[in-house]
Amino acid sequence: MSFIGSTRFLDDLCGTALDGNHAPQIDTGSNATEPIRIVVLADIQTDHFGDWEHRVLEETNALKPDLILIPGDFLQARYVDYEVELVKAKRFLSKLKSEYGSFIVEGDADRNIEHYKDSGVEVLFNQSRELSIRGRSVLISGLEVSYRDTAAQSTIQLAEKNLADLNIVLAHRPASVEIAEKRDSKIDLFVAGHTHGGQISLPFIGPPVTLSPLPRQIGAGGLHKRSGRQIYVSRGLGVERINAPRMRLNCRPELALLLVK
């Protein structure tokens, strides 16, 4: 699988229309003429669903995705607010529109990923889902946040042998790509979040901290190659609300659209 495009799909959601004309394009060698449209909705990590989250919902649906992938850290509300915000979170998820499904995995901030099971999205906790999209077989495997646990590794091992036309692993932490086989793996793409692009990015240096053991240029976001696999790391839409300042500097939020041919 080779990366065709070079422009990342960025927007601060403050007025620019999202049309996908400059979305990263990923080639799997398929003869399909129409790409699969995948929206990556990472790290909303909100503690209150308001106007910003409503705008994210509108922009996501406007992209008319075939698939929506949510790599965790969806809700980070305080205990006293959790039940109220969980109702809003599930309402948000229920309004997502994707032709072939929306999928979510566990993140560090998610108190109980099972809470989203009745919200219209499919929870993948060390599980895989097989789909057919316009005649192309697609496998989506979702990992728990503790990606080195036995069940998560077994999920990856099964994915590595699957012959689907498009084979995706969805995980919260980018470092999950490190436990994939270096050779003979059938996995086309890892999709992850977690880093927020560092939240703070310095000129000529990039993010000082990404909270990932992978190289900082990978943690900063975008499409990269690591351990023989391609991985897309989203800069996400939110901020850390407990262990870091609630700010972004030179690191705009990202709603990512991937076009897979």
The reported pLDDT for the residue numbered 183 is: 73
Q: How many helices (H) and strands (E) does the chain have?
A: 4, 13
Report the distance separating Cα 15 and Cα 36, nearest Å.
26
| 130-143 mean pLDDT | 97
Share of the chain above pLDDT 70, in %: 86
Report the distance separating Cα 106 and Cα 127, nearest Å.
12
Q: How confident is the model at residue 16 (pLDDT cuts 50, 70, 90)?
A: very low
The reported pLDDT for the residue numbered 243 is: 67
- Bridge partners of 2, per DSSP, are 27
The reported pLDDT for the residue numbered 200 is: 83
The reported pLDDT for the residue numbered 54 is: 93
**Which residue reads 């205990």 in tokens?**
79
| 216-237 mean pLDDT | 90
Phi/psi of residue 211, nearest 5 degrees: 55, 35
Q: Is the model more confident about 246 or about 111?
A: 111
What is the β-pairing status of strands 136-142 and 229-233? unpaired
The reported pLDDT for the residue numbered 240 is: 76
For 233, the enclosing helix (H) or strand (E) is strand 229-233
What domains can you pick out in the chain, each with its CATH number? Answer: 2-12+21-260 (3.60.21.10)
Q: Would you say residue 233 has pLDDT above 90?
A: yes
**Which residue reads 């607010």 in tokens?**
81
Alpha helices per DSSP H over the chain: 51-62, 79-94, 150-159, 216-219
Report the distance separating Cα 92 and Cα 81, nearest Å.
16
Q: What six digits make up the tokens of 57?
A: 């919902």
Provide the b/e sequence for 60-84 (b: ≥16 CB within 10 Å).
Answer: beebebbbbbbbbbbbbbeeeebee
Query: What SS3 class is residue 46?
Result: strand
- The model carries a pTM of 0.89
Query: What SS3 class is residue 242?
Result: coil
The reported pLDDT for the residue numbered 204 is: 83
State pLDDT tens for residues 188-209: 999 999 998 988 888 888 888 8
